[in-house]
A and B are shown apart, each in its own frame.
Chain A
């Protein structure tokens, strides 16, 4: 199959997705639509972490920080000035916070760019560190962002956060951003830079010996990952309509890491599939934490059970199937067609 046929099939798949969303918008209830939205956002987040960790081998635990930056920047830009006046009750907002305004697309992109800017800012000093130290330092960065969000009430409204953020992030926006992320990451991975990323991941010393500018490529991967993490955070803020510093704790990073590891480090297909599966499971397990009623009988909910199940699942995957569902394999139309015909063809079973 030539590249042209693949492109046509990709477009067809996108069209099918579009049709599905068009159908879903009118026929599914709000809860289902919310899950679909969360799937798109989680895929964006998983792809961004997979780019940083799965493809470049940079163990970063700073995702919650980048998401917080994206979410706050985007929310400030889309909240109406009157809303901001109502929100900032502790201390009035700075003038530039009060008057900042942008359309939704620009606001999300600005959230991503702000996150990428911070990615460069912390990446320049931190990316020299080795794997586990890098993880702890980026985790420290995320915590510092959270502490700043609490302590800068004139920008972030302190611990209260924002409420009533306009819910522009509908299915169309989320899935457009999701497809754009997918397209961008795939193109990047297949480019020369992508090969360099993988070389750094597999053996940094060897890559250096081959004359690769390791630091520059690490920084490139890290800041692009930060950009999409910021975009994901921005969409999430608008989707949930409320953000506060408590939201952006390590648990958020843990969920994204969970998706990436489950899907397979270094597999885009894996991140997409695991993004869908884990988002659905996370929502589905929510009922375990809420009380269940059988007539007059009440089975009390078990708070914390959801994360017990998920942390156990992560441990099992790391212990028994370290490469995740997909390993480093990817979906391709060629592979799908070959498999289909082998199964159905005269020589198949």
Chain B
């Protein structure tokens, strides 16, 4: 393998990894606060991409407007899902909310099939994202630089919200102890809605960039990236935002590199992440950066 090819694979891995990381943040924030695996998150990711398509083809919106509108609508749907399907189950056994989440996931996926058919749709890509730039021997698509850069900006914004603003303080308080936060006057339900909104917006952004990178839309397109992002969140330490970012990027790079170095294993690509999940859960269930969650009596 030449040096140029290696750099190219690394960049591809970084792109894929930052897309995983954006989704993983949503999983990790919701899990940190509610101890709930938000199964519907992968469908939120898919909806983000579909809404852009709808905005452009049905409402004739310009590109940028369609993208911003899609992110806002997807965030609203994320909040709505929590409001309708999870909030009534806050006091129920934890698995009830998980089953509800599985139901929501299938509902959104099949609703998209009903609305748009199961047939994959091509995505139109603007030319300025497609023409490769030559840096020495390395051919780089502008997209491969654009995706990690934008993802990085979004993550910086998130870190600012979580660590520098008052709602962010509320999020951190709730993730430590939801009941005490409530007593201390944190508007728990509003903060949880905000968390779902932010997580869904990031997933939508990831979905839109995913559609530009792999230009095909399908109602089931969210499942595999969604699972892998969840695995990335567990790998990084569920509940930890930096963990989700690091986990996502490592997973993306390793996945691309593994296939590049061992092309024979390409067929096992999707199994790799699940094996990783099982191994982490067994060896270090708290992940790279997670805090210990004790089993309280």
Residue numbers of A with Cβ under 8 A of B are 59, 125-126, 128-133, 135-137, 139-141, 143-144, 147-148, 150-151, 205, 250-251, 254, 257, 261, 302-308, 310-312, 314-315, 318-319, 322
User: Complex formed: what's the CA distance from A261 to B103 in Å?
Assistant: 12
Q: Decide if B274 touches A135 in the complex (CB within 8 Å).
A: no
> Once the chains are docked, how many angstroms separate the CA of A311 from the CA of B111?
10
Minimal beta-carbon separation of A7 from chain B (angstroms): 36
A126-B109 Cα distance, complex, nearest whole Å: 29
Q: Is the CB–CB distance between B94 and A143 below 8 Å?
A: no
Provide 26 A-B residue pairs closer than 8 Å at the C-beta atoms, listed in order of the A residue: A125-B282, A129-B281, A132-B36, A132-B37, A136-B37, A140-B274, A140-B275, A141-B274, A143-B270, A147-B267, A147-B271, A251-B106, A304-B111, A304-B118, A305-B110, A307-B107, A307-B113, A308-B110, A308-B111, A311-B110, A312-B103, A315-B85, A315-B107, A318-B96, A318-B100, A319-B85
A39 CB to nearest B CB, Å: 22
Within 8 A of A (CB), among B29-73: 35-37
Inter-chain contacts of A140 with B (CB < 8 A): 231, 274-275, 277-278
Contact between B103 and A314 (Cβ–Cβ < 8 Å)?
yes
Chain A residue nearest to B98 (CB atoms) is: A132
Q: Report chain A residues within 8 Å CB of B35.
A: 132
Interface residue from A125, A137, A314, A319 paired with B277 (Cβ < 8 Å): A137
Residues of B within 8 A of A261 (CB): 99
- Which residues of chain B have C-beta atoms less than 8 A from A139's C-beta? 227
B99 with A136: CB separation less than 8 A: no
* Contact A303–B113 (Cβ < 8 Å): yes
A219 to B105: give the CA distance in the assembly, Å: 30
Given known pairs A141-B278, A144-B275, the reply for A318 and B270 (CB within 8 Å) is no
What 8 A-B pairs come out closest when comparing CB atoms? Answer: A304-B113, A140-B274, A311-B106, A147-B271, A311-B107, A307-B110, A314-B103, A315-B103
| Bound: A131/B94 CA distance, A | 8
Does B114 reach chain A (CB closer than 8 Å)? yes
Neighbour of B271 across the interface among A126, A136, A143, A257, CB < 8 A: A143
Interface SS majority for chain B: helix
CB of B110 within 8 A of CB of A147, answer no
Instruction: Check if B25 is an interface residue, CB within 8 A of chain A.
Output: no
Contact A254-B95, Cβ < 8 Å, known A143-B271, A319-B89: no
B95–A131 touching, CB < 8 Å: yes
Which B-chain residue is minimally distant from A138 (CB atoms)?
B278
| Residues of chain B from 248 to 289 with CB closer than 8 A to chain A in the complex | 267-268, 270-271, 274-275, 277-278, 281-282, 285
Give the CA-CA distance A148 to B35 in the complex, in Å: 32
**Binary CB contact string for chain B from 120 to 163 against chain A (1 if under 8 A, 0 otherwise):** 00000000000000000000000000000000000000000000
B117 near A303: Cβ-Cβ < 8 Å: yes
What is the CA–CA distance of A165 and B114 in the complex, to the nearest angstrom? 33
Known: A133-B285, A150-B267. A144 touches B100 (CB 8 A): no
Q: How would residues 78 to 94 of chain B score, 1 for a CB under 8 Å from any chain A CB and 0 otherwise? A: 00000001001100101
* CA gap between A245 and B117 in the complex, in Å: 23
Max chain B C-beta neighbours (<10 A), residue from A135, A141, A311: A311
Q: Is the CB–CB distance between A318 and B89 below 8 Å?
A: yes
Q: A313 → chain B, closest Cβ, in Å?
A: 8
A205 (CB) vs chain B CBs: closest residue = B297
Contacts of B223 in A (CB 8 A): 250
Known pairs A304-B110, A314-B103 / 7 extra A-B pairs, C-beta < 8 Å: A135-B98, A136-B234, A140-B277, A303-B117, A311-B110, A314-B99, A314-B106
Q: Which residue of B lies closest to A265 (CB)?
A: B95
Residues of B within 8 A of A147 (CB): 267-268, 270-271
Q: Which residue of B lies closest to A128 (CB)?
A: B282
Q: Does B177 contact A (CB under 8 A)?
A: no
Q: How far is the CA of A319 from the CA of B270 in the complex (A)?
A: 33
Contact A303-B118, Cβ < 8 Å, known A59-B95, A131-B94: yes
Contacts of A306 in B (CB 8 A): 110
Report the minimum CB–CB distance from B7 to chain A (whole Å).
Answer: 29
- The answer for the CA separation of A306 and B113 in the assembled complex, in Å, is 11
Q: In whole angstroms, what is the CA distance A104 to B275 when docked?
A: 34
Most chain B C-beta atoms within 10 Å of own C-beta, residue among A125, A144, A305:
A144
Q: With both chains docked as a complex, state the minimum distance between the C-beta of B268 and any C-beta of chain A, in angstroms.
A: 6
Report Cα–Cα, A251/B105, bound state, in Å: 11
Q: Which residue of A lies closest to B277 (CB)?
A: A140
| Contact status B95-A132, CB under 8 Å | yes
User: Given that A261-B99, A314-B103, A322-B96 are known contacts, is A308 also in contact with B114, CB under 8 Å in the complex?
Assistant: yes
Q: Are A254 and B102 in contact (CB under 8 A)?
A: yes
CA distance A141 to B275 in the complex (A): 8
- Measured CB to CB, the nearest residue on chain B to A126 is B278
Once bound together, how far apart are the Cα atoms of A151 and B270, in whole Å?
11
Interface residue B201 (Cβ < 8 Å from any Cβ of A):
no
Partner of B267, one of A151, A254, A311, A322: A151
Contact residues in B for A312 (Cβ distance below 8 Å) = 103, 107
User: How many Å lie between the Cα of A97 and that of B242 in the bound state?
Assistant: 49
Q: CA–CA, A130 to B89, complex, Å?
A: 19
Report the bound CA distance from A303 to B118 in whole Å.
8
Q: What residues of A have a CB within 8 angstroms of the CB of B100 in the complex? A: 314-315, 318-319
A136 pairs with B103, CB closer than 8 A:
no
The verdict on B235 contacting chain A, using a C-beta distance below 8 Å, is no
CA distance A150 to B265 in the complex (A): 12
**Which residues from chain B contact A205 at a C-beta distance below 8 Å?**
295, 297
Does B174 touch A at the CB level, under 8 Å? no
Closest to B238 in A: A133
Knowing A135-B98, A144-B274, A318-B99 are in contact, say whether A304-B88 is a contact too (CB < 8 A). Answer: no
Q: Are B114 and A305 in contact (CB under 8 A)?
A: yes
Given contacts A143-B271, A148-B271, A308-B114, contact A132 B282 (CB under 8 A): no
What is the chain A residue whose CB lies nearest that of B230?
A: A136
Q: Is the CB of B88 within 8 A of A319?
A: yes
